[in-house]
Amino acid sequence: MFNLKIFKSGIVFYIDKYEKLDTLFKEIDNKMHDIRQFFDDSEKIMIKIENFKEKINDIPKIIEKFESYNLKVKGILTEYYDEKETPIKREEDKETTLIIIKNIRSGQKLNHTGHLIIVGNVHSGSEITANGSIVIFGQCSGVVRAGIKIKPSYVLALSMNTPLVQIGEVKHQVNNNYKNPVFIYEKGGKLFFDEFKKEEEL
């Protein structure tokens, strides 16, 4: 259920499919009890979750769990990540992940040189821009610009009602109101929106 791999460029914690969050946390506690002495304070790690779509609402709690052990989560790797094609970047590549735990209010503009994770809502009238991917654990109603310099990049939000999404050079005016988690990626000069609907909606 829970394992880790150590690369020259970073540490990745792998979380396999799990049923209950409490069961996962017990497994993390048991594992960390055995290996905690191998980590420095504020060690930076990345997390890969196998069933990312199904467990997206658990991500903020999982981040908090690791940070309770003074491990700083610098990135979330989704099932779309391929280690062979996209190696983990070093800190000096400036592709770090910024995690912000707050709402982005109307009129605010946020720019980051790496990947961006927001635990909160992005309100209408605001704008967020990142050189890499953007993940929003909340409602997104503001303008989103991702993948300005880092390829490939994506946008993911728990719900979305935004006027504009941009990934790289490709811009898309959004007409739909996505009430479920939506994964947005660029392919062939177009943006694709994959909405993860609940079972009762299918």
- For residue 18, which phi and psi values (nearest 5 degrees)? -140, 155
pLDDT value at residue 148:
93
pLDDT value at residue 115:
92
pTM of the model: 0.61
109-112 and 97-100 beta bridge pairing:
unpaired
pLDDT value at residue 55:
81
pLDDT along the chain (202 residues), means of 10: 69 86 90 75 79 80 88 72 45 65 91 91 96 95 95 94 96 92 94 80 51
HSE (side-chain half, CA atoms, 13 Å) at 113: 6
Q: Between 59-67 and 21-35, two packed helices, what is the crossing angle to 10 degrees?
A: 20
pLDDT value at residue 19:
85
